[in-house]
Structure 1
């Protein structure tokens, strides 16, 4: 039963492995111009379906409660969309002299440009007992910002504008991302009660569509005989991804717990996960749009495909440790704010007797 439960929880990661394996065996099915017609079904229909689903599932009222925590929001968004991609760019200047596959390195840069995810950061924050409202707000707000900022960052750091027209990218993003998202929010207003009652599996629906996108992306890769991925580069990239995640989680922890910080321990938990997690649901469709026509698109996608399960795995492993720290920190703060109670059995000094004036400490 334990194994079945674990498989149920990890089905998406297993699904990624399965669709890549199927794409390797028969790439002609999902290749551009093939039977699935991914240039229409994926580029427009599947991507639009993901964001319509996001708009339908997003509880706007849950975000308003966290809206006023401006300092926390600024910290998360600046770290995610400014510091993260810039730090990765500096790091990649050093890695460029190594024999690591250049397209995988470009893929690492795309990871840095991605917004926070709507699901994993919130789930892990909730598991620890952190500021869930702040996690929900920053994940959703970061996703909205990412619609505009992520393509700009990709063009800035990778310069793909030379082969893909800037206006074409944003018009397609608007039609397949912004419009479905807005329509989803509008529809939600009319069927809100039904959604609350039935609780449709929004996450599973988006994940299934995402698996289709990943499948067709890798069909294009395996159908191209000129693409070769060496195992050395792949192993190094996996190691770099885990190192980056651990380093950035530790960095956000240090920044949010410094002496002059006003963040609570629960805020710190939300900051750690929201600042370091990256969205696969938004990322893969955006890469598909921004790098349309690139024969190395799937290699660019590989680091993001690795980063997604890695952030869930690392986060899950660290939940008990972070929870233990948060609880002990909250207790310590509570004790420092409360006046010391007299020890049981110890006589109260005569100067503190109720009949006399209060004790002056």
Structure 2
């Protein structure tokens, strides 16, 4: 049990997830700070924080490492197709069951989750524990984050108009370029000069990322609670959503495993494909929700499936990674 807790701690499953729950409770009982607009709102702080997150992320990306990682192209293609095509198609297949029901917004949240890029930190941690191909994991997670800046809004944009009523493609693209893509590009350009600095203080930058994510979650749930969006869901229904997230994780995980065997990947590469292809990023989900669902009260409910998936994927992946490591030993 102690070993499992240590692994979960390394992956981020510790005080941070506890703080996520605290922010949701705080939004329920004390929503006023999240709704204040003057003299400066928490939303404006979160918007600036989003740009800084991607700026520092880009600063830690080495162009040389990305170029070197392109060699193992078959594995990269499988991971990215799983992340941005297979995941969304699975969720799309069940959409007819939710259209014109009380759960249509929850389905949108699950689809938003399915269209997101893979995680960086926890994917690499799990691959490391399971003794997989760590450089390939770093490359795939980094590339996934960059691809997601373009692909995630395209996928979600297909269905967001019916949920928010104010989807503007041009406006979304401009916001993404200014708030996400431009900071990443500037950060990459500064990697040669300041990349060492970003790596040196990556722990402090992680805490900054988490602070911005918690701010976004708090303000999002303040809006959702003020509109009483969660009143229609029972505890049993929310438990069913959690169970559905676990089913989604294992469905993708098993399919990726079969696919990697079919392509004849080595054990190390198969481990990398399994963990990078089945993970979804809470960081990118929360910050991109600020752009895609800006000024919308549904953000909190859309983020709910992602937060459940994030917590459950860490538990499941940690147990699986430990078993893989023991088999190799």
TM over 0.5: yes
2:94 partner SS: helix
1:33 Cα deviation after fit: 2.4
Q: Which runs of 5+ in 2 are unaligned?
A: none
User: Matched residues in 1 for 2:88 and 2:124: separation?
Assistant: 22
Equivalent pair of 2:157/2:167 in contact (CA under 8 Å): no
Q: Deviations over 1:208-259 (max 9, x none)?
A: 221111111111122224652332321111000011101111111111113x
Assess if the C-alpha contact under 8 Å between 2:56 and 2:198 holds in 1: no
Corresponding residue to 1:303 among 302, 305, 326: 305
- Name the residue aligned to 1:244: 248
Aligned to 2:188: 185
Tell me what 2:56 maps to.
53
Aligned to 2:268: 266
Task: Look up the match of 1:105.
Answer: 107
Match of 2:168 in 1: 165
SS of the equivalent of 2:35 reads coil
Q: Which residue of 2 aligns with 1:76?
A: 79
Call closer, same or farther: CA 1:24–1:279 in 2, change over 3 Å.
same
Determine the structure 2 residue equivalent to 1:29.
33
Q: Give SS of 1:272's match.
A: helix
Task: Give the number of the structure with larger relative contact order, counting CA–CA contacts within 8 Å between residues 6 or more apart.
Answer: 2
Query: In 2, Cα distance between the equivalents of 1:310 and 1:67?
Result: 31
* Structural RMSD (CA): 2.5
Is this contact kept in 2: 1:109–1:157, CA < 8 A? no
Q: Which residue number corresponds to residue 126 of structure 1?
A: 128
* 1:255 partnered with 2:255: no
What is the match of residue 67 of structure 1? 70
Q: How many angstroms apart in 2 are the aligned matches of 1:231 and 1:34?
A: 36
In the TM superposition, what is the alpha-carbon distance from 1:167 to its structure 2 partner? 0.6
Give the whole-Å Cα distance in 2 for the aligned partners of 1:64 and 1:249.
28
Distance 1:34 1:303 in 2: 31
In the alignment, does 2:217 pair up with 1:220?
A: no
Q: Name the CA distance, whole Å, in 2 between partners of 1:268 and 1:71.
A: 11
Tell me which protein shows more helix as a share of its residues.
2
Length, aligned pairs only: 322
Summarize deviations over 1:63-99 as a string: whole Å, max 9, x none. 33321111111111111111110111102323558x6
In 1: Cα distance, 2:98 partner to 2:29 partner: 33
For residue 195 of structure 1, report the CA deviation from its aligned partner: 4.4
Alignment partner for residue 88 of structure 2, among 74, 85, 88? Answer: 85
SS of residue in 2 equivalent to 1:76: helix
Stretches of structure 1 that go unaligned for 5 or more consecutive residues are 329-361
Give 1:291 shift: 1.6
The residue number in structure 1 matching 2:238 is 234
CA distance in 2, matches of 1:24, 1:55: 35
Q: Deviations over 1:110-153 (max 9, x none)?
A: 11111111221111111111011111111111111110110000
Q: Displacement of 1:56 after TM fit?
A: 2.3
Equivalent pair of 1:28/1:223 in contact (CA under 8 Å): no
**How far apart are 1:174 and its partner, in Å?**
0.7
